[in-house]
Amino acid sequence: MSGQHNGLKTAALLGLLTSLILAVGYWLGGSGGLIIAVFISLATNAVSYFYSDRIALRAMGARPVSEAEFPELHQMVRELATDAGQPMPRLYVSPAMQPNAFATGRNPEHAAVAVTVGITRILTVRELRGVIGHELSHVYNRDILISSVAAGLAGIVTMLAQLAIFLPFFGGSDDEDSPNPAGLLLMAILGPLAASIIQLAISRNREFQADASGATLTRDPLALASALEKIHYGTQRAPLPADAQLTSTAHLMIANPFRGGGMSSLFATHPPMAERIRRLHQQASLTGPHLR
């Protein structure tokens, strides 16, 4: 039931983002500009969609690892993938000492799961299994596709807003039916802001969904809850530098790799960790704490 609710919420948010595009496009009255913005944004995000795995793995300095190097990790991932009826993903390890993990790839056949050295040192086997279940669920739920679509739609709004800034210079404001410059400036600011807020809401919703479906896959919600507590503590103690590459891939990670709090929490790609942990405890109370 929770999965259905999250799916409907994501669909509603994507619909709201699409409606925002149509509203802005209609208000501007520039169908030609709308078409150009759509094509540019879709092309940009198509690259992100097909190469997101390479971008994310490079940003974290992750390298592929063999079964001889990490036999327990390979066995854990293989068992969960088999339980889900999915192919074995590629496995990577990042040298980062911050405890974190992420999965990427446009579908299960092109999936990659990466963990940091830091996370392997602080989690128990049971907790790490809970994390792997979460990451595999991102792949099985097609979250890379969903986030790419959301980013593409948000990008269209941003491009339309930038186009709006230049309309007065091309005579757009001479027509009495055209928006006035003040209105264009306001839309140029509020349009991208609204699109970003909706995009971030989609990202946070997908994290809740991955927590729930990952806990269902491992049949151990409390293991993931315990892991998230340790990961949150570790990421706050050792935040990663917010450079361009890491910022663009941060939404893929199980926890925000940067220092949170304050106003930045309003624009976070991840929901509050306390709420995620609370929901997992609630799931455990309904389904049993550990069913393996």
Nearest-angstrom CA–CA distance, 52 and 253: 13
Nearest-angstrom CA–CA distance, 210 and 157: 27
The closest of 114, 89, 88 to 103, measured between CA atoms, is 114
- Helix-helix angle 181-218:273-287, to 10 degrees: 40
| Residue of 135, 176, 207, 275 marked active site | 135
Cβ atoms 280, 222 nearer than 8 A: yes
Structural element, H or E, at residue 102: strand 101-104
Nearest-angstrom CA–CA distance, 273 and 52: 25
**67 labelled catalytic:** no
Q: At which residue do the structure tokens 């409606």 appear? A: 19
Active centre residues (catalytic):
135
